[in-house]
Chain A
Amino acid sequence: EAQVTQNPRYLITVTGKKLTVTCSQNMNHEYMSWYRQDPGLGLRQIYYSMNVEVTDKGDVPEGYKVSRKEKRNFPLILESPSPNQTSLYFCASSTRTGSSNQPQHFGDGTRLSIL
């Protein structure tokens, strides 16, 4: 089954304690992306990756890091989490056919609470 898998689904942690949210896809997609979703603000892109070892900042990258060492994995790292990073996070992947971007497949989300 084609899927994007995020872990953990829920996490409550404290300010300053480094954490990693993992994301893995089994569709051999080149493109992967992280979003955060907050009430009234919609989906905002944090970082994206167009392929292995190619990453770039989205609209709200401050306080986050990513890496893309393998095509299937795209972890999101919070080196020193703060309460304003409390949010619902989604990982997504997609590919391209010709010049047209295909729909993104989303993971089930990670609800993160930073106390």
Chain B
Amino acid sequence: QKEVEQNSGPLSVPEGAIASLNCTYSDRGSQSFFWYRQYSGKSPELIMFIYSNGDKEDGRFTAQLNKASQYVSLLIRDSQPSDSATYLCAVSGGTYKYIFGTGTRLKVLA
């Protein structure tokens, strides 16, 4: 069973701090990696995607991928209360199948 693992949290950080969210995956053939933000009862919203080892930055968000260690992380700089949500990690391999982790709940404290 190919799996994607995330700590369910909640991860609590003060406003303005860096939030670090981690995800590990079991399928070494995975090629595409995604981070989604989901507010309660709403649909997942794409935050970042990354295909190559290393870092990818977009505004306050940085995705980090390490294929050798099979983990992908999301850093949120200058965290805001509006960032409080559940963050879903998704992984996709050579087929069209996408596998989601169960998500990490982030709470940014004002």
| Alpha-carbon separation in the docked complex, A106 to B98 (Å) | 13
| Alpha-carbon separation in the docked complex, A31 to B87 (Å) | 23
A33 and B100 form a contact (CB under 8 A): no
The chain B residues found within 8 Å of chain A, CB to CB, are: 31-32, 34, 41-46, 49, 51, 88, 90, 92, 94, 96-98, 100-103
A99 and B96 form a contact (CB under 8 A): no
B100: chain A residues at CB < 8 Å are: 35, 42-43
**B interface, over-half SS:** loop
**A interface, over-half SS:** strand
Q: Does A112 make an interface contact (CB < 8 A)?
A: no
Among residues of A, the one whose C-beta sits closest to the C-beta of B101 is: A42
**Least Cβ distance of A48 to chain B in Å?**
7
The 7 closest A-B pairs by CB, nearest first: A42-B102, A101-B92, A106-B43, A43-B100, A101-B32, A31-B96, A103-B46
